[in-house]
Structure 1
């Protein structure tokens, strides 16, 4: 690990001021950043500890939603009575991720900032455009079991690892940030990036900007939802494919739908146009199968991960069926219902 300096931010102004310096990184739970530093993937010159900032609360918004502070721990968020009643899809995604020990440390803002678990990104002896722009993508032509089938580029085929972010994408959350230019917010769909020609950029934060919170809209799809995560083992594993499905039902037909996929792209994958086409359709296997085909249009495997296309199609149909029936996937008994 390379040497670095450390400062504990006393307030938001100091955090933003310190964070604007070259080579500075914010740290809270550190469940991803410290691993990256130990592996020499990340080499920050200065760490700004933000744990003392007043960003650890969950608050009602005037519009009837909730605002989650960036320092709210994943375990506390999943256990919050308001979240469990109004946004159970988010709670389910949180409980599907990591381990209890990690959820006790990991924060809301840190979850959004997670970096890929691509083998080649972590191996500094291999080329990686995300780690060293212009060096090439070691994954292309390599071992690709966990890699992207959607939205990839010739420069990068990595996937985003978060479970929480898949649910936030389906719920159409907003991200609030503070930077040298003041506060701003953006739609969750605009926060993460596809790799394109700049895979080193995971998100659309400006230099020095700090996530202060995530805002949930009033509608949480609490009656008809499911978070289905398919992985190599039942716990402490990243998704091969995950599906956050949220429906509003009226008389056996779909009034509104939101579906986001994880484990398949550089960011949570959605097709709002395909979701809109579900409005008024019957909630049956034929409808869900047709929707899955549209959602997966353009999917392309890399050899080792070709199975993900079939797996994703089946997972979409299963998750939507669970949501329509009001029988969400259990994160305690992980057998697929």
Structure 2
């Protein structure tokens, strides 16, 4: 196994490793590329693919909702000075979209989420030409995003393209292994229990890929409001289908989820919080859950266990935080 491949596999597993010495030597002396990424998931992909040849700044940390995020003065300074800006697109960063599109006329700005083929996207029910942006929820759909990150870096540093491509391939191997794990543990949930009720509709791709009925209290964007009628309908669903677990999200208030639990209790039906899921942001920096692989491992493991399936308590690699 090559030095580059060993380095990336360690990063993909969330390990803390010593800085790698780039074999080319002179390449690193040319200066690291400055990359700014909007979401944590994109920043994580850039760090793994770019290795020690780039420096990455992620704008949106744990608990930050990209749907409503607005760029700050320091963000604008970082974005305008970056060698490369990576954003998701598909209207995820709704409040930043105009700024990023204008910036693209001046410097390299790439909407990596739009690498997912249109045929694989879920269209918005109300707006023609708009799509559900939450493609990262299914590992297979994240693979073209990793490729797009590698290509964007290679376009700026063609002499290092082999390095970026090798890192991307090793990372994709880990993502593919995670996808296989997800299929197995989610299939262990009894079919009648495959109903996922969450704070907002971020799990549409998840539901389609794994055969789950998904109900979000709010719509695809957290900017939408949940009406009383929607909450009443979901309470009736919980009672009628004997659903015993609902899920909160790290970037969305749990107020509406608590209203569901209280509404079900008023009808004599007990519902518990099955766990907190990472929807639009990852976990804490430096933690396994603070990587894309750890984020998805946590979600798949938490959902499977809460809905009656079989999954290791500490996830695919035994690295999830205890009690997560």
Q: TM-score with structure 1 length normalisation?
A: 0.27
Larger proportion of strand: 1
Larger proportion of helix: 2
